[in-house]
Amino acid sequence: MKIGIFTLKPESYTSQRLKDEAQKRGLAPQIIPYDGLDFEINKAQTKIIFKDKDLGRFDLVIFGTAGPRFAVQRDYLLSLMLGQKSKILNAESLQKFPNIDKINQHFLFQKTNIPFVESKVFGKKGRLIASGLKYPLIAKDKHGSKGMRVFKLKDKSETKKLFSSFEISSFLIQPFLQAGEDIRVIVLGGKILGAMKRIAQPGQYLTNYSAG
């Protein structure tokens, strides 16, 4: 069985764990970084090249996060491999949520009555500054992860400084919560597989495991 694992980070824990588990079962998975692919598009066909060879067909495919840089390529690969009758582990979720980010998530939370922290998305920074929101605030980049691009804003001066470098329409603005902890619940197929409590380091506000 030919297995393809598409990923942004071939050395990541997730990619290597999938590879290890497949090898334990006598399978030979191939980890394929999105930035390792080239596309040759002509009138006759589109060829996908990996390591100077045609990528070919896979029996089983797992698509990892592609990020905004490679979302278009990932979507093309998904469409192509569905047409080739490959088994795609997460096809349903990719088709339903092709480009999920923090802003999209909050629209979905509201629509489906999932509890969430009330948030605002502004088109221009001047409207945030004039909004009268109480500081401190949290600003989260819609594509951020692992605690990166999450900023605590203490006042209007810090807000002006931050959004002189970043586009405000790509950020969620939220009230700062004092709890210092959160709970991550892992759900698969409607069943809870496990949960973990993440606690911020003393004097810090980020609870992400990656942030320490």
Strand duo 87-88 + 60-63: pairing: parallel
* CA–CA distance, 9 with 203 (Å, rounded to integer): 31
* CA–CA distance, 193 with 92 (Å, rounded to integer): 20
- What pLDDT, on the 0 to 100 scale, is given for residue 124? 93
Q: By mean pLDDT, which of 25-29, 100-104, 162-166 is the weakest?
A: 100-104
pLDDT digits (tens, 9 = 90+) for 38-78: 999 998 889 999 999 999 999 999 999 888 889 899 999 99
Strand duo 60-63 + 137-141: pairing: unpaired
**3-class DSSP state for residue 46?**
strand
Residue carrying structure tokens 């700062």 = 176
pTM here is 0.68
Residue carrying structure tokens 């469409």 = 79
CA–chain centroid gap for 45, Å, is 30
- What pLDDT, on the 0 to 100 scale, is given for residue 48? 95
Query: Is 166 a residue whose pLDDT tops 90?
Result: yes
Rg (CA), the chain: 21
Residue carrying structure tokens 């920074």 = 125
pLDDT digits (tens, 9 = 90+) for 92-134: 888 877 777 899 889 988 998 988 989 999 999 999 999 999 9
**3-class DSSP state for residue 126?**
helix
